[in-house]
Chain A
Amino acid sequence: MPLTDSLRDDILAAVPSLRAFAISLSGNGDRADDLVQETLLRALANIDSFQPGSNLPAWLFTILRNLFRSDYRKRRREVEDADGSYAKTLKTQPAQGAHLEFEEFRAALDKLPQDQREALILVGASGFSYEDAAAICGCAVGTIKSRVNRARSKLSALLYVEGTEDFGPDETVRAVIGGSS
């Protein structure tokens, strides 16, 4: 469909969640904004292929996700946020304790396989249905469900089993597990 004023407004209105998705995927604020910009340019260039009445956010998320994937294949993941560049994108700096917890969460999220991370974000944070998330990722609904489940159990293992005091200091546990052979 042609780019009407209302369509343009709808695209702009999707920018905050596109940014959140991009930052969640890439872990890097600057890169995320570049991704969003490229997504908008591509969406506008291909606006004729957007079906009026279909899900605009899902269409935009699909573009962003595909851009991220091709970008990812090109440069692999640079070790992100060593300098806290993600944290700098936050408007309000969390208090120290919360900040630490946040960093841990971010690090655990980054350890997930990309398929699982994107599925979890789309369903658990962006609020897409399993059906929409499946369409965005180009896979079956059942595949999305199992990716989300695996992502959740992996995160809980990383955040709440691995590091708890029940098992003694982290370092000891890691050393024993890592060095056992």
Chain B
Amino acid sequence: MRGPFRGLTVTRQKLSSRGNVGQDMKDVKKQGGLNAEIQSRIGHQLRAMYDDVVRQGIPERFVDLIRKLDVAEGSPQLGNAGEKNDGGE
């Protein structure tokens, strides 16, 4: 029924199961010489996505947060005097 697509279906099952590695590799090669190249592209995309956020540095809101808490924590004697208003936990 799904003649032309039969090969695709088989390949997908092989990619998702870890058995039969030899055949798996053959099929992958047949699909256009992928595996190592694909894995390196995936690694690259993943790091690009991640590093893009890392490069944004520390948003001001977090610097302020730590500074405020620091004041509260830094003087435990006065710590209950209403500086700590985080409520949660």
Other CB < 8 Å A-B pairs besides A159-B38, A168-B4, 18 of them?
A3-B73, A8-B70, A13-B58, A16-B54, A16-B55, A19-B54, A19-B56, A20-B50, A36-B62, A41-B88, A41-B89, A90-B53, A102-B48, A102-B49, A121-B50, A126-B50, A154-B16, A177-B9
Shortest distance between the CB of B62 and any CB in chain A (Å): 5
Q: Which residues of B contact A156 (CB under 8 A)?
A: 15, 34-35, 38-39, 42
Residues of A within 8 A of B (CB): 3, 8, 11-13, 15-17, 19-21, 23-24, 33, 36-38, 40-42, 44-45, 89-92, 101-102, 105-106, 109, 120-121, 124-126, 149-150, 152-157, 159-162, 164, 166-168, 173, 176-177, 180
Shortest distance between the CB of A81 and any CB in chain B (Å): 12
* Separation of A173 and B9 alpha carbons in the complex (Å): 10
- Flag whether B61 is at the interface (Cβ < 8 A): yes
Picked from A38, A45, A125, A152, the residue with its CB within 8 Å of the CB of B50 is A125
A-B contact pairs, 22 of them (CB 8 A): A11-B66, A16-B53, A16-B57, A17-B54, A21-B50, A24-B49, A33-B59, A40-B65, A40-B66, A41-B69, A89-B56, A91-B55, A102-B49, A105-B45, A105-B49, A120-B46, A124-B43, A153-B15, A161-B11, A161-B31, A164-B32, A177-B2
